[in-house]
Every structure is written in structure tokens, then in C-alpha cells.
Amino acid sequence: RYTDVRLVFAPEKRIAFFGGDADNFEYPRFDLDICLFRAYENGQPAHVENYLKVSPQGPAEHDLVFVSGHPGRTNRQLTVSALTDLRDRVLPFQLQTLYRREVLLAAFGAHSLENQRRIDSDLFGIRNSRKRSNGQLATLLSPEFFAGRVEDEKAFRSELENQPTLRPVVDAYNRIDQAETEMMRVLVSGFLLEGDWRHGALGFDSRLFRIARTLIRAAVERPKPNGERLAEFRDSNRAPLELQLFSPSPIYADVEEVELSDSLTDLASRLGPEDSLVKQILAGKSPRERAHELVSGTKLKDVALRHQLYEGGAAALEGYSDPMIALATLVDPAARRLRRIFEESSETEQEAYGQIARARFALKGNEIYPDATGTLRLSFGEVSGYEVDGKTIPAFTTFAGLYQHANDHQNREPFDLPPRWIDRHDKLNLQTRFNFVTTADVVGGNSGSPVVNEAGELVGLVFDGNIQSLSGDFAYSDEQSRSVAVDIAAIIEALDKMYDAKPLVDELVAGKSVSR
């Protein structure tokens, strides 16, 4: 494990994310979405015996390729009842929230370039999630897809019934149904007051609130035995938790107020302004007034203070008055109760799904591989185009296509090229392959994964999937679903001709040592 990792090269955002949200999850694509890093040991570049050699020409159409990475999560084994809840309750709720946040931040960013800079990263994340969730919902709303899942489950349960040793597994479906019912009962309040490790409580969309919650929970959780703590406070998660808690990155009061005000409005609208906890949260003020009071009154932007309160634990918090900490403390009992319901129900589901998976393996063998869980996997596929509505989508794009795409949009944002890509375009071999697609089965978490050929040589880097790949959360098909990668040939051409980084090219291609 390397703890000293340094940035060597990163392209301009306008070429790394050329096409912006409009082209996100689309293909053909024209993005130099790469970064190069160097790992160090004892202050010197790490010497690595085993590494991926580069194939400078990249892949050819129909080549067999392999992708290694850590795909985050798929839901291909979900029962029909769980898919129904996802389709009818969970995804619509999440999309309503995402659309609301997107409109809010876009309006805030439109006021000035500085505002836009401050919310740019958050807005990108929201738009990416919105597009992904829309793709998932579209899959679940497909009558053909859903009818197929209903028939598959019916047939599998019939097989279980006909196998005396596997017949008890049928009850696992009933346990999942009961767990789903329990989670859906508290879905809205759970998302608003507790949320999850990735998004936090949706009713308190504020980095300062998340800091306050971390501090008050750390005071309770850290003294406990490791196995009894909430997951994020266990020893295995200590480093990332503290890295986030003590980050010196700026917290902008105006952004905090806008986001917190809107999320408090959403909270009050969904739970009702007469709800007793909502009344305590708002403390007799409007959401906007309350957000201003909380953000202007807290001192948690001070990293040194966070260290002091974190290390001091319960004793330090008991003697410290802060409105954001008081709010987090007020909400915590209800939030913990909701979390307990979700975690107990999820545990029931996991046990039941494990039972179903073992039965499926007993009946089907290796016909079906297990869902992604963030662990290391090796996927394989073919470099191959596809057809959409009778139109052939080629496997490769080129630099020539990049400039044509920019011209088609009159070089207007988000199709505006960086100045160097305009000034130096005549230096490029425009027929160089830029991006390509493969049938390799990848999902969120695979970004940055190497694509290697049969010889084990690096030919590209995965950075996205096409819009059809979003159905891959629930099922895989190689008919149209594709992973999208940057061709190594484009990386080499750009480093050499656009960025005058010939020493980097030599190091990548020939393994020549360079001055670091």
C-alpha cells in the first residue's frame, strides 16, 4: 500500500470531460479522461518489478480484452418484490431529490463565475447520479424486462419446490418481503434524518452538519469495543473518516446556507410542518432563517477545533455550545432508531439472499456469477461496436471526430476545446483512435481500470459506460451495453504532441527512466 502518491499529469477539464453532462453515459465519446500518478517509497519513486507494459498501437476491433477493477455494486439477484420497491419508491424519491438539488445549484452557479466554481464538483456529482438513476428506472419500467424477471423468479421458485433439500429456501423470499415492507415503512424519514454513508442525511444537506454528526457520534462510538461501533467508526475505517473530518478544504458559508435551507424545506414538506421533530429542528424559524442561524453561528469550519472536540470526546462536547452540534444531537436519537431498522432489515435480506445464491449455484452452477461487491474482479470482453435503431455505432472514435463534434456545436460549452487543442490541432495525427468500447461487464467503481490485451499489455483505461450499460445494475447483455475507454494510442499522441511530454511517453512505452 502506497501512502505517498503524487500527480504527474492531468489534462484540462474541458478535454477530460469534453461534452459535459450532455455526453455523459453516451457514445460516441471524445474524452481524454486520464491522470498519471507516481508512487513513492522513502521519498523515491517506487521500484516495481511487475507492471503492465504498454501496447502503443492500442487495441484492434474484435480483440479480446480484459478489465481488472473493483466494480462497486450490482443488483442482479434482487427479488421481484425488492425490484418493485426500487422502481416504485426508492428511485422516484432519489430522483426527486436529485432534480431539486440540481436546479438549486445550477441557479446558484448562474449568479457568478465564482459561484459556479464553488458548486461545480457537487453539481457534477448530482448530474451523474441523476443520469444513472434515470437509466436504472428506465430499465425497471420496461415491461419486457420486468415480465422476464417475474417469469425467471417464478420458474426458479418452482425448481426449489421440486427439490426436497432446497425447498426450505423458498422461505427466504418471504423473509425478504417482510424486510422490504419494514424498510419501506420508514423510507422517507430514514433518507431525510439518517441517509447513508455516501450521501448523509438528505434533510440536512450541509458539510458542517455532517462534521457535527461525526463529532457527536465519535464521542459515543469510539469508547466502544471495535465490533460494537457503527461501521464508519471501526478501526478499518478510521483513516478515511479522519481524513474527511480534518480536511482543510474550504467550506463556503453561502453554499452551506443555500443547500441547508433547501434541504430543511424539503424535510418540512415531506414530514409535515406540524411534525414535533420538525418543529424542534426549525426552532420557530423559516428554513432559510434557520439555515442562516446555524451556518453563521457554528465554529466548525475551524479544523483545529474539530481536532480538539474529536480527541476530547464526550467531555469536550459537553462543555461546548455550538448550534450545529446541538442540531446533530437533537436529531441523533431518531436517526439512530431509523438506522437500526434499516440495518436489521438489511441483515435479514443479506442472509436470505445468501441462501438463495447458494441454492442457485447448486442448480445452475457457474452460469450466473455473483453480484459486484467492491471486491477485485477480472472481466473480459470484445472490442466491438453495436447497433441502435438500425444505426451502426463504431467501436472507435478518433481525434478527427473530436474536432467535428466541437464544430457541430460551434465550440460552445460544454463542447469548447481548451486553447492548446485549438492552437496545436495541426500537430496531431487526426486518425489516431481516441475512445473505444468493449463488451466487458463493468459498473460504477471500474473507472480508471486498465484494459489489457491477450498479451497482458495495456491498451486503454476505462472511464465510463454507454447509456445502455445502466441496465447492467440489474442484468447484463452484450447486445448494446458497452464500457467506454480511452485508447492508449490517444494518450501517447496527446502527451507527445499536445503536452510536449515526450519523457513521459518514453517511460510509458520503453520503460526508460526519467528525471523525477
pLDDT in tens, 324-340: 999 999 999 999 999 99
C-beta atoms surrounding 438 within 10 Å:
28
For residues 29 and 23, the answer to whether their CB atoms sit within 8 Å is: yes
For residues 482 and 468, the answer to whether their CB atoms sit within 8 Å is: yes
Give alpha helix (H) positions in 227-286.
238-245, 253-271, 276-282
Identify the pLDDT of residue 512.
Answer: 66
Distance in angstroms (rounded) separating the CA atoms of residues 368 and 487 = 30
Task: Walk across the sheet containing 64-69 and list its strands.
Answer: 377-382, 64-69, 450-452, 458-465, 483-487, 433-438, 396-398
Residues forming beta bridges with residue 41, ordered by sequence position: 44
Which residues are CB-contacts of 457 (< 8 A; sequence separation ≥ 6)?
52, 53, 54, 55
Residues forming beta bridges with residue 486, ordered by sequence position: 435, 461
Distance in angstroms (rounded) separating the CA atoms of residues 6 and 2 = 10
Distance in angstroms (rounded) separating the CA atoms of residues 282 and 256 = 16
Distance in angstroms (rounded) separating the CA atoms of residues 458 and 452 = 4
C-beta atoms surrounding 366 within 10 Å:
6
Closest among 374, 407, 397 to 490, alpha carbons compared: 397
Distance in angstroms (rounded) separating the CA atoms of residues 247 and 196 = 20
Q: Which letter does DSSP use for residue 425 in this model? A: G
Q: Which CATH superfamily is domain 4-74+375-510 in?
A: Trypsin-like serine proteases (2.40.10.10)
Work out the angle between the directed axes of helices 113-140 and 253-271 (0-180°, nearest 10): 40
Q: How does the average pLDDT of the chain come out, rounded? A: 96
* Ranges of each domain in the chain: 4-74+375-510, 80-356
Which residues are CB-contacts of 515 (< 8 A; sequence separation ≥ 6)?
503
The three cell numbers of residue 180 are 422490504
Q: What is the pTM of this model?
A: 0.93
Ranges of the chain whose pLDDT falls below 50: none
| CA-derived radius of gyration, the chain | 25
For residues 107 and 476, the answer to whether their CB atoms sit within 8 Å is: no
For residues 250 and 359, the answer to whether their CB atoms sit within 8 Å is: no
Q: Which letter does DSSP use for residue 27 in this model? A: S
Give alpha helix (H) positions in 142-237.
143-161, 170-185, 187-193, 207-221
Residue for cell digits 471526430? 401
Q: Which letter does DSSP use for residue 383 in this model? A: B
E strands, 64-206, where?
64-69
Residues forming beta bridges with residue 379, ordered by sequence position: 67
For β-strands 483-487 and 458-465, DSSP reports them as: antiparallel
Which residues are CB-contacts of 269 (< 8 A; sequence separation ≥ 6)?
none
Q: Which letter does DSSP use for residue 143 in this model? A: H
